[in-house]
Structure 1
Amino acid sequence: MIAPNRRPRLRALPINKMIPNMVTLLALAAGLTSIRYGLRGEFERAVVAIILAGILDGMDGRIARMLRGTTKFGAELDSLSDFLSFGVAPAMLLYLWTMNDAGGAGWALVLLFATCSALRLARFNTMLGDPEPPAWSRNYFVGVPAPAAAFLGLLPMMLSFQLGDSFFGEPAVVAVFMVGVGLLMVSRMPTYSFKRVHVPRKAALPIMIVVGLLAAFLVTNPWTTLSVIGLVYLATIPLAWRSYHRLKAKSRLAEAEEAAEAADGPAPAAADGEEPADGDLDRPPPSRS
Structure 2
Amino acid sequence: MTQAPTPATPDILCIGSVLWDIIGRSNLEMRVGSDVPGRITRLPGGVAMNIAMTLARFGMRPAALSAVGRDAEGNELVAACAQLGLITDHLYRSEDLPTDRYMAIEGANGLIAAIADAHSLEAAGDKILRPLLDGTLGSEAVPYTGPVALDGNLKLSLLTEIATHPAFDKADLRVAPASPGKAERLRPFMTHSRGTLYVNLEEASILCQEEFSSSAEAADALLARGAARVLVTDGGSSATVADQDGSCTQAPPVVTVARVTGAGDTFMAAHIVAEARGEDRDTALASALRAAATYVSGEPPV
TM-score if structure 1 supplies the norm length? 0.26
Structure with more helix by fraction: 1
TM-score if structure 2 supplies the norm length? 0.25
